[in-house]
Amino acid sequence: MARFALVTILASLAGLVGCGPQTQGQWDYAVNAVELQQVGLAYLWQNKVPLQDGEQVAHVWHLDENVYCLTSTNTLHVYEALTGKPRWTEAIAGPAQTVFRPCHVDGAMLPPVLGSRAALQAQGDRKPYDLVVFNTLTEAMVYERHTGQFVARIDFTRAQFAANTPTVSDGERIYVGSVSGRVYALELETGLAVWQQRTDSMISAAPEVMSNRLYVASQDQGLHAIEIGSENGQKLWPAHGQHQAGGPFTADVVVSEQGIFAGNSDYNVYAIDPISGRVIWRFRCGRPVRDPVQVGANNVYALADQFYAIDLATGREQARWTLPNGQYVLSEVGETVYVLGRRNTLMEVDATLGTVHTTIPLSGLNLFVPNVTTQAIYAASTDGLICCLQPTNGGM
């Protein structure tokens, strides 16, 4: 009886949510609050995505201060990550188009008019924009991410390519990989392609930027570093024919000063030095690693034949621990890691030992945001529930 009862927001947090919470009748199918308490979680907020007949929630992403909810008609609903309050809604693409995950751009200094050389030559004052960029196969749509103000549309067909990855940005340009194996740099101000660099096969992993370098994982078995500060995007490594892996890189990678971490179809998880491009360590799994890895405080998490927690510093031969039914991490909170199970369960796991303390069903939820950086869990259902869970002992 209690399992399907109303999940109420903690009284201490009610003031944050404002008009976000819904009435009892709309939440009969939510995960039960008593079960959440068993794993040390509670609702921070919950809300309802407005859907038309036949429309469903298709994707949920969390970036910085926003949660992005994309429906099956490619209508975007944006919510404030801390409170769940609606921010803006926009139809960003046609219903049949492929929409890739968004990227954020902080403080991009742009003129009042974009898209032409004449506008750039005008003496208009520049102002900073906090942007979100979505892209389809043929174009990128740029919005001011707090208000939803449309800023620019960047047409990939002018540069005669079709995108095959999400975009990433350094604040001046966006970068996107293509089916042809080339990565393109396009100016935010004009939408013009300023350079391109070639790999030897299709690119399906999102490029990543750190400092003045762009990192591109390709299906040609290599992870490529490009100097983006140079006029033509000078390739730094690897040399032709000297790739780091034995199979294609197909999934997104994680780039940090500690290393570039990537799964590969050759069964290995790689840690690659971001300066030299040499392999720091490799860890062999029981099957190809086709999903993005996650990098926590001390572990690299990877899904192959089972779910692995690999020592971040050494990648030693023996995994720190494994879970046969794990899929990916929803949040890492101190010594606790919350892992989504393959049968739509939530496992409370000791991050060091891998001991599963408690497992609960996630009734009514079927869309989740993989996450190791925020002490909160963002989840949704295809029929319109969206919510945020946080640790009862303090999170966000």
Question: For the chain, which domains are there?
Answer: 1-89+359-396 (no CATH), 102-205 (2.40.128.630)
Q: What is the pLDDT of residues 79-94, one digit of tens each?
A: 999 999 999 999 999 9
Long-range contacts of 8-12 (CB under 8 A, 24+ apart): 8/33, 8/43, 9/43, 9/44, 9/45, 9/46, 10/42, 10/43, 10/44
pLDDT for the residue 395:
57
Please give the Cα distance from 394 to 389 (Å, whole number). Answer: 11
pLDDT for the residue 363:
83
Q: Taking 90 as the threshold, does the pLDDT of residue 156 lie above it?
A: yes
How large is the average pLDDT for residues 171-192? 95
pTM for this structure? 0.90
pLDDT class of 31 with cuts at 50, 70, 90 = confident
Q: Taking 80 as the threshold, does the pLDDT of residue 230 lie above it?
A: no
Residue ranges in 48-158 assigned as alpha helix (H): 117-121
User: CA 68 → CA 89, 100, 104, distances in Å?
Assistant: 10, 12, 12
- If one counts every other C-beta atom within 10 angstroms of the C-beta of residue 24, the result is 11
pLDDT class of 124 with cuts at 50, 70, 90 = low
pLDDT class of 112 with cuts at 50, 70, 90 = confident
In percent, the amount of the chain with pLDDT more than 70 equals 88
Closest-CA residue to 320 (of 333, 335, 331, 330): 335
Distance of CA 293 to the CA centre of its chain: 11
Closest-CA residue to 188 (of 229, 151, 214): 151
pLDDT for the residue 99:
98
Note whether 173 and 189 are within 8 A (CB): no
Q: What is the pLDDT of residues 333-365, one digit of tens each?
A: 999 999 999 889 999 999 999 999 999 999 889
Q: Taking 80 as the threshold, does the pLDDT of residue 172 lie above it?
A: yes
- Whether cis (ω within 30° of 0) applies to the bond prior to 238 is yes
Closest-CA residue to 242 (of 223, 229, 227, 226): 223
Helix (H, G, I), strand (E, B) or coil at 197: strand
Q: What is the pLDDT of residues 287-317, one digit of tens each?
A: 999 999 999 999 999 999 999 999 999 999 9
Helix (H) or strand (E) holding 169: strand 168-169
How large is the average pLDDT for residues 243-264? 96
Please give the Cα distance from 104 to 133 (Å, whole number). Answer: 6
pLDDT for the residue 113:
67
How large is the average pLDDT for residues 221-233? 90
Please give the Cα distance from 160 to 152 (Å, whole number). Answer: 19
Helix (H, G, I), strand (E, B) or coil at 13: helix
pLDDT for the residue 123:
54
Closest-CA residue to 248 (of 194, 205, 184): 205
pLDDT for the residue 14:
37
Q: What is the DSSP letter of 23?
A: -
pLDDT for the residue 241:
82
Closest-CA residue to 204 (of 265, 255, 131): 265
Note whether 22 and 30 are within 8 A (CB): no
Q: Taking 60 as the threshold, does the pLDDT of residue 11 lie above it?
A: no
